Amino acid sequence: MDTSIGLQFLGEILGTFILILFGGGVVAGVVLDKTKATGAGWVVITIAWGLAVAMGAYVSGYLSLAHLNPALTIGLAAAGNFPWADVPAYVGGQFIGAFLGATVVWLHYYPHWKATKDQGAKLGVFATGPAIRHYTSNVFGEVVGTFALVFGILSFGANVNIGAGYNPLIVGALIVVIGMSLGGTTGYALNPARDLGPRIMHALLPISGKGGSDWAYAWVPVIGPLLGATIAATAYKAIINHEVSAWLFVSIIVLVIVEFIAMSADKKAGNN
């Protein structure tokens, strides 16, 4: 990038803010009571989330690399395609943008929180949750979905037939198909800032009638995307550039360890 790291930091804030504003906004419109979009359904949510990612990338793309996702940033750094020194600024900007976006969604739908009795629906505006709580499968689902996202993004960037100006829309389409095909199990976080940032705001904001923030599950949409993105970025480099990074083996080993821990947690909780 020709811009300073300060401007890139600002770009990640703005882009992630837009991503959460539109993404969290559509979920609020669909699941909260007495909105004009109440009950519009999963298809509306998945399409709007894809467009939210695209719009966020367009907003930030002239300032930063429009990662908008700590998993993508860290995965690219592990693959040697992004400087580790810039990771804190990018990840910090992404979380700040997520905090701001979640707060504005809360304010925008302010009277609807009181009108909605379902505490799970209120949390769902801010953070993902599993359709069936089975940590082993939930982690695997987030890894697979994020792998598909990052491998797809890298493939789009290498495809000379796609104009650079269309890349955000293509990535948005990828988000839509991931949501429709794979997202029904966990809500397809794919992005630690997208899930953890708003989850923190759910815990902090005085939301009328809210319940708990489900911290027992919060590690899944953080660890899963980080591992999926790192495996995807390093595997892509190994396949396309024939450069094998130690991070590929480390991330696979960590995934195996995490899955064994998840299996133990499922067994203890009776999640068979």
- pLDDT band of 156, cuts 50, 70, 90: confident
Q: List, in order of start, the domains of the chain with CATH numbers.
A: 5-269 (1.20.1080.10)
For residue 25, what are its two tokens? 């906004």
pLDDT recorded at residue 164: 65
Q: Whole-angstrom Cα distance, residue 196 to residue 224?
A: 12
What number is the average pLDDT over the span 159-181?
Answer: 87
Judged against a pLDDT cut of 70, whether residue 160 lies above it is answered with no
Which tens digits make up the pLDDT trace of 54-101?
999 999 998 999 999 999 999 999 999 999 999 999 999 999 999 999
pLDDT recorded at residue 2: 72
pLDDT recorded at residue 166: 86
Share of the chain above pLDDT 90, in %: 92
Nearest to 50 by CA among 180, 230, 143, 199: 180
207, 113 contact by CB (below 8 A): yes
DSSP state of 164: G
Q: What is the mean pLDDT of the chain?
A: 95
What number is the average pLDDT over the span 140-168?
Answer: 87
Q: Whole-angstrom Cα distance, residue 262 to residue 259?
A: 5
